[in-house]
Amino acid sequence: MDFNWEAKRRRAAYLALADGTVFHGYGFGAANDAVGEAVFNTGMTGYQEIVTDPSYAGQFVTLTAPEIGNYGCSPEDMESRGVFLNALVVHELNPASNWRAREELADFLLRHGKPGIAGIDTRALTLHLREKGSQKAYLHVDGTVLDETEAAARAAAWEGLDGQDYASRVTTSEPYEWSREGKYHVVVYDFGVKYNILRCLAGHDMRVTVVPAKTPARDVLARRPDGVFLSNGPADPSAVGYAIENIRLLLGKVPLMGICLGHQLLGLACGAKCGRLKFGHHGCNHPVQDVRTGCVAISSQNHNFALADLPDCLELTHINLNDNTVEGIRHRKFPAFSVQYHPEAAPGPHDAQELFADFQQLMEHSGK
């Protein structure tokens, strides 16, 4: 790893927020400027899983853990086919020192064409985002001279993520078989699916077929699935109107399970509202309570929007104990349920992985 002492001393790279606040540091990874939405993730480990999570498309992810890069990167820790976030923001970038490491984090980002910035005060940035909310931002790392005021103006002028369909940008281009064995055939809508979701489904006796986000409901039903899974994904669920309509057509015809964006889309398809959170939920330590049993699970989360104003056809099943937002729903008439958090983890705790067994039982009881 190149320690690049001169760049660390000069601190010529910077992150400019749309409100004019600027944080200085040094660049790593790809030396290209970028624009995105600045958020923070409170996970202590799992940076490779985070940067390869398609749900982060369009975002600058600030890692609150101060030491990053220590265990390098390895092919086994990929959660998708590539890197989808717009940039990575860290405090201290360290060389890898782990037997599993095959690549330095900086080299990994460079290979995928994604920039990063290190050496900034991520604690101050996190506190700023908590107070002001997630913000549009501009990352300047390309080595040219750029006035900070101009960078902040470019951030403010960016279209942002609201009203933007990013699912169609990150989805697979063609259907594919993830696993060919299992009692239940499950079709997964790929709105930005993580590999560990597919692993968990396959691990619960499911034969998994993945289809593009815009696949019509009739084409999914033509595959004669035992169940349909609605995956996680990036940006604004209200902009994914084609998915909402397809879910309406699938309700009552086949058991459904959704995670994250898939949860929001199921809620919208049933008549719920969905709005933006101040700074979102990103991390591996969010307490979620099952309101039916009182049981609490520590969960992995990554989202900026949340459901509200549930219609009568939906039962509230889970809430976030930090802010009481909706974390789980179940349809009162049809075999369909969803959760806002990530029971598959990667990274994060495995407290909620029994939800995949619940989906298995839902298909079993539906007589498929």
CA gap 323, 289 in Å, rounded: 12
Two tokens, residue 97: 């020192």
Q: What's the pLDDT tens digit per position in 152-211?
A: 999 999 999 999 999 999 999 999 999 999 999 999 999 999 999 999 999 999 999 999
Q: Which of 319, 313, 299 is nearest to 268 (CA)?
A: 313
Q: What burial class does residue 218 get, using C-beta atoms within 10 Å of its C-beta: 0-12 exposed, 13-18 middle, 19+ buried? A: exposed
Residue 176, CB-side half-sphere exposure with 13 Å CA sphere: 9
Amino acid at 73: C
Output Rg (C-alpha) for the chain, integer angstroms: 20
The DSSP result for 137-166, as a single string, is: EEEE-SSS---HHHHHHHHHHS--STT---
Two tokens, residue 241: 């109107």
Q: Alpha carbon of 307 to those of 102, 152, 275, 316: distances in Å?
A: 40, 31, 7, 10
Question: Does the active-site annotation cover 344?
Answer: yes
Out of 281, 286, 303, 342, which one is annotated catalytic?
342
Would you tell me the crossing angle of helices 354-365 and 195-202 to the nearest 10 degrees? 50
Whether the Cβ atoms of residue 340 and residue 307 lie closer than 8 Å to each other = yes
Mean pLDDT rounded to a whole number for the chain? 96
Q: Which domains does the chain have, with CATH numbers?
A: 5-157 (3.50.30.20), 167-365 (3.40.50.880)
Out of 260, 270, 274, 284, which one is annotated catalytic?
260
Q: Which of 10, 140, 151 is nearest to 87 (CA)?
A: 140
Q: What's the pLDDT tens digit per position in 110-161?
A: 999 999 999 999 999 999 999 999 999 999 999 999 999 999 999 999 999 9
Give this prediction's pTM: 0.96
Q: What's the pLDDT tens digit per position in 50-73?
A: 999 999 999 999 999 999 999 999
Q: Is the omega angle on the peptide bond into residue 95 within 30 degrees of 0, that is, cis?
A: no
Out of 37, 79, 104, 344, which one is annotated catalytic?
344
190 conformational bin, left if phi > 0, alpha if psi -120 to 50, beta if neither: beta
User: What residues have CB less than 8 Å from 127, skipping those under 6 apart?
Assistant: none
User: Does the pLDDT at position 4 exceed 80?
Assistant: no
Q: What's the pLDDT tens digit per position in 290-312?
A: 999 999 999 999 999 999 999 99
